[in-house]
Chains A and B, each alone.
Chain A
Amino acid sequence: MDFSLDEETILLRNSAEQYLRENCPTSFVKKVVKEQTGFSTAIWKELADLGWLGLIYDERYGGSGGKFFDLFILFEEIGKVLLPSPFFCSAILSGLIINEAGDAKQKDAYLPPIIQGEKIFTMALLDEQGRYDFNSPKLEAKETKDGGYVIDGTRILVPYAHVADAILALAEVRGSSAGGPTIFRVDGQVDGQKIVPLDIITEEKTFAVIFEKVEVPAGNVIGSIGKGHIYLNKIFPRAVILKCGQMLGGLERVIEMTVAYVKERHQFGQPLGSLQVVQHYCADMATFLETTRLITYQAASLLSEGIPCEKEVSMAKAWCSDAYKECTWIGHQLHGGIGFTEEHDLHLYYKHAKVSELSFEDSWFHRSKVAEEMGIGSLLR
């Protein structure tokens, strides 16, 4: 057991902290999500130049071959400021899938522009009920006579589809020989593809993508036919833990804001923070922070070391989801009315906490996975 950070990790964290503090204040976040792109292209370019987009990828693709744990720390910093960008959907989700499942040609073609920030990829994973349907995706890919595919169906909650150069979609192949869940690369803005903006609570740019007889060539299949769910399950833990990193960062900021506020806000002729009931709320938040940090760092560290940790990942996401949300509720209770206004920043985290809780499955789902990992049987179907 060693709870100290490596020198290198500290350096990265400090420079990320400084860059994001200077370039991504909450006033900027509130403004940029309302713009057409929903993110700053200038910052996007800098994320690439700083080497963050390619942090964990091989040098041959222009990455820096860094540790997953460092990427996690970076996401913790991003979570503190709630930087809106396609980082997660492009360089993480899409990048990891291509890296995991793509053949050499696809990796050579797709990874460098993702890492350089020249191309934006996104992933279309959720069905119209907002569920992950990895095992039998409701998106359909019918094999055509010339060996290509025609994709039909709708995916929702697809981030940054409006600027995506490519969308990776999981579709069920119905072919002559092979079939099953398969990942396709679909160009952005192709014939038959429609995107519908979704007004979600965080205001991050998110869309429904409707595929109507969208033709894709056979070369756009990423990995093997019928194995899409396997690839996704393989990258899922890393995606989950980076999400947890963001949540941890957000949680830290909520506590920071709230503790600072109760120190300075006076009522009844004294600082709110001198009242014991307020102090106990704050102690509860501090406990959520410490516990979330440990359980999340543990999973990130084990993933980084390549040690099997399905259970630890699910423990982290289950705990993180509840803890972050709980802290935003306490934060609102202690901020009182001012926290309920748009001018205040707290609502950004309240929204982020809920959206994060619900993405990559909620605490109930992950507790169920923990139970399975403990050797407790599955639920009867």
Chain B
Amino acid sequence: MRFTFTKEQDEFRQEIRDFLKAELEAGAFSVDIAELVGEPSQEFSRKLAQKGWIGLTWPKQYGGQGRSYVEKLILIEELMKVKAPIGYHFLADRQVGPALTSFGSDWQKEFFLPSIVRADEGMQFCLLFSEPNAGSDLAAVSAKAVRDGDYYIINGQKVWTTGGHLADYGWLLARTNLDSSVRGHLSCSEFILDMKSPGVTVRPLINMAGTHSFNKVFLDDVKIHKKYLVGQENEGFKQIMAQMDYERAGIERLMQNYPLYEHLISYVKKMDKDSRGFYSWVRDQVAQLEIEYNIGRLLCYYTAWVVDQGKKPTSQAALTKAFCTQYEQRLNDVATKVMGPISQIRQGVKWSPFGGDLASCYLWAPSYTLQGGSVEVLKNIVALRGLGLPRK
């Protein structure tokens, strides 16, 4: 049992910090607190790629570094602290790579992995999982993939596609067994879709924070060559569940608004103590946030360690994400109450706290406990998979 980092890990963290400090000082990016990973910047991603910080845990033969998930977590933690613009490679790094490593064909691995690791042009991914009628119940996807010679013909609609308007490729889940008596869990497959394919229409879906992040994606007779089928036909659901572990295990769900937390603490350190009752409440709330943040961080490192031990972290990752996202929501709520009525003012004027980021973060907050599996779905996983409670 050791709750400290090794010398090598400390050095790695310091190297990342030094790099980010230099980038910030050079004005390479500005900190955007509200969004998960900020504006995609291929230029910035390439700089990380040159450091070997994309595909850190992937096998060396595909350009990865073969390093541990704990180290990956150190990297993401430092990137999230300053909200570095990692949107260009983030999804590919987090999910596409591990999925291809586990289920991809040799051709797919050789074609995509080294290219993602280098942050090459044309390697930004989006996820085409959810549909209007398949949200928490992902197995209910109805987008169809019908085999036609060497191709699959795709028809259907996807939604909540983050970055769909910018992505070069989409990671698609579609039904390949159209027999309605077969459960969705056994009838879906995964494909990699070139987003420039004819028949792909991407329309913006503006979120309640006023940001264009999500999209609706319409697929009309889209042709995908069979070499873009990932893994086995009709095994897609199982594969995707394994991928979701990686989506859920990350520390980004704890740190989406991290700089806001730093702003809040430094404000509280200097705040007026005359209103004693209020100050006492603020201290209690902030200390509670600090405890939850620290626990969330331990959960993330523990989950990464579990993965490093070669174990599947399904229930652990679900528990971690549920806990962390609830912390993030509380952070926003507490921060607005500490700052008071000025919290509602968005950016552009001197009166808005933390440059208007507080108002934006509060507007983003409802999404935290929904994306990547709602808290309720995650609790189901903990109960059924973790505790072995009976199904209905």
Contacts and interface: CB of A to CB of B under 8 A. Distances in A.
A287 B323 contact: yes
B75 to A, nearest CB: 14
Contact of B291 (A4, A270, A271, A367): A367
A291 to B, nearest CB: 5
A367 B283 contact: yes
For the residues of B in contact with A, the DSSP-based class is helix
A344 interface: no
Given A287-B319, A368-B287, A279 B383 contact: yes
B283 A259 contact: no
A275 B86 CA distance: 41
A291 B316 CA distance: 11
Interface stretch (B16-24, B157-165, B186-194, B297-305): B297-305
Contact of A1 (B70, B323, B391): B70
B-side interface size class: 35 or more
Contacts of B319: 283, 286-287, 290
Interface string A284-317: 1011001100110110011001010000100100
A336 interface: no
B1 A302 contact: no
A299 B133 CA distance: 46
Nearest to B316: A290
Interface in A255-296: 259, 262-263, 270-271, 273-276, 278-280, 282-284, 286-287, 290-291, 294-295
B265 interface: yes
B380 A315 contact: no
B265 A374 contact: yes
Contact of B287 (A1, A2, A290, A318): A318
A271 B390 CA distance: 7
A170 B379 CA distance: 48
A290 B276 CA distance: 35
B291 A370 contact: yes
B276 A294 contact: no
Contacts of A315: 290-291, 294-295
Interface string B1-32: 11111000100000000000000000000000
A207 B61 CA distance: 70
A87 interface: no
Given A280-B376, A368-B284, A270 B392 contact: yes
Contacts of B4: 1, 302, 305, 307
Interface in A64-85: 69
A240 to B, nearest CB: 14
Contacts of B287: 318, 367-368, 370-371, 374, 376
A273 B286 CA distance: 36
B276 A283 contact: no
Interface of A: 1-6, 9, 69, 259, 262-263, 270-271, 273-276, 278-280, 282-284, 286-287, 290-291, 294-295, 297-298, 301-302, 305, 307, 312, 315, 318-319, 364, 367-368, 370-371, 374-377, 379-380
24 contacts: A6-B1, A262-B389, A279-B379, A279-B387, A280-B379, A282-B387, A283-B319, A283-B379, A286-B319, A290-B316, A291-B323, A295-B295, A295-B298, A301-B1, A312-B294, A315-B295, A367-B287, A368-B283, A370-B291, A371-B283, A376-B269, A376-B287, A379-B279, A380-B273
